[in-house]
Amino acid sequence: MFTTIRQEMERELIFVNVFETIIEYKSGYLSGVGTTVSLSLLGVLVGVILGIVLVLMRISSIKPLRWISVTYIEVFRGTPLLVQLFIVYFGLSEYGISTSMFGAGLIAVSMNSAAYLAEIFRAGIQGVDRGQAEAARSLGMGRAMTFRHIVMPQAFRSVLPAIGNEFVTIIKETSIVSVIGLADLMFETNIIRSKTYTALAPLLGAAFFYFIMTFTLSKGIVALERKLNKDDRN
C-alpha cells in the first residue's frame, strides 16, 4: 500500500516538475519551436518542388534524366540524414562552400525529403487511370497540359496523407540539426537541461511541444483531405 502511494506521489511530482519547467522556460521552448517549424515548413516546400522535378525526370523518356533521378533518390534514401547534414555543413566547407547553420539544415532536410516525396508523387501518378490522360489527349490537350490539369491534381489529392506523414516525419527529424548548433527545439531543451541539472522534465517538455506540433499538423491534414473530398462530391 505504501509503495503504491509512493509511486503515485512520484508520478504526480514528475508531472508538476514538467509543468513548472515548461512555464519557467517557455521562452526557450517557444524559440526552439519557431526554428523547428520554420525549418520543417521550408524543407517541405522546397522538397515538394524538387520532388516534382525528380518525378518528372523519373517518368521522362530521356534515359540520362531517369538515371540521374533514380541515382539521386536511391542515394538520399539510402544514407542517414545526419550524414547528409554533416556533408553539407562540414564537408563542403573544405572546398570553400560554407553555409549558415540554418542554411545547412534546410539544404539537408530539403534534399532528403525530396527523395521520399518524389517516390510518393510517382506512386500517385501511377495510380491515376491512364484512360483519363488518353481521353484528354484525344480532346486535343497536349501532354504537358494533360499532366498539369488532369494527372497531377488527382495524384496530389491521393498522396496528400502521405505528404502529411512526411511533414510530420520532418518535424521530428529536424531535431538532428541541434548537433551543429542550430537553436531548434532540441537545442533549446539541452540548454534547459544544463540550467536545471535535470534531464527528465526538460525532455518531457520537449516531447510535449513535438506532440503538439505533429498532432496539430495531422488534424490539419485530415481536415484538408475532408474538404477536398467534399469539393469532389459537390
- Has residue 75 got a pLDDT over 90? yes
The mean per-residue pLDDT over the stretch 109-128 comes to 90
CB atoms within 10 A of CB 18: 18
Q: What is the pLDDT of residue 115?
A: 95
- Residues 217 and 130: their CA atoms lie apart, in Å, by 33
Q: Which of 9-18, 25-34, 85-94 has the lowest mean pLDDT?
A: 9-18
- Has residue 38 got a pLDDT over 90? yes
- Residues 174 and 59: their CA atoms lie apart, in Å, by 30
How large a percentage of the chain has pLDDT more than 70?
87
Alpha helices in 59-173 (DSSP H): 63-78, 81-86, 101-126, 130-138, 143-146, 152-158, 160-173
Q: What is the pLDDT of residue 35?
A: 95
Q: Mean pLDDT in the chain?
A: 86
Give me the amino acid identity at 176.
I
Q: What is the pLDDT of residue 231?
A: 61
Question: What's the whole-model pTM score?
Answer: 0.85
Q: 132-153 in b/e burial notation, b at 16+ Cβ within 10 A?
A: ebeebeeeebeeeebbeebbbe
Side-chain-facing half-sphere of 100: CA atoms under 13 Å: 6
pLDDT range class, residue 39, cuts 50, 70, 90: very high
pLDDT range class, residue 89, cuts 50, 70, 90: very high
Q: What is the pLDDT of residue 123?
A: 87
Q: What is the pLDDT of residue 15?
A: 61
Side-chain-facing half-sphere of 42: CA atoms under 13 Å: 15
Q: What is the pLDDT of residue 9?
A: 43
- Residues 151 and 126: their CA atoms lie apart, in Å, by 9
Q: What is the pLDDT of residue 172?
A: 92
- Residues 62 and 66: their CA atoms lie apart, in Å, by 7
Beta carbons of 78 and 147 less than 8 angstroms apart: no
- Has residue 233 got a pLDDT over 70? no
- Has residue 30 got a pLDDT over 90? yes
Phi, psi of 116 (to 5 degrees): -75, -40
pLDDT digits (tens, 9 = 90+) for 140-192: 676 777 777 777 777 888 888 888 889 999 999 999 999 999 989 999 999 99
Pick the CATH number of 34-193+201-233 from 3.40.50.150, 3.60.15.10, 1.10.3720.10, 2.60.40.420: 1.10.3720.10
CA 115 from chain center: how many Å? Answer: 12
Every domain of the chain and the residues it spans: 34-193+201-233
DSSP 128: S
Which of 217 and 15 is assigned the larger pLDDT?
A: 217
- Residues 197 and 200: their CA atoms lie apart, in Å, by 10
Using CB atoms within 10 Å of the CB of residue 102, give its burial: 0 to 12 exposed, 13 to 18 middle, 19+ buried: middle
Which of 17 and 10 is assigned the larger pLDDT?
A: 17
**Following CA atoms 119, 74, 112, 88 in sequence, which dihedral angle do they give, to the nearest 10 degrees?**
-160
- Has residue 34 got a pLDDT over 50? yes
Q: What is the pLDDT of residue 5?
A: 46
Is residue 215 classed as helix, strand or coil in its secondary structure? helix
- Has residue 77 got a pLDDT over 90? yes
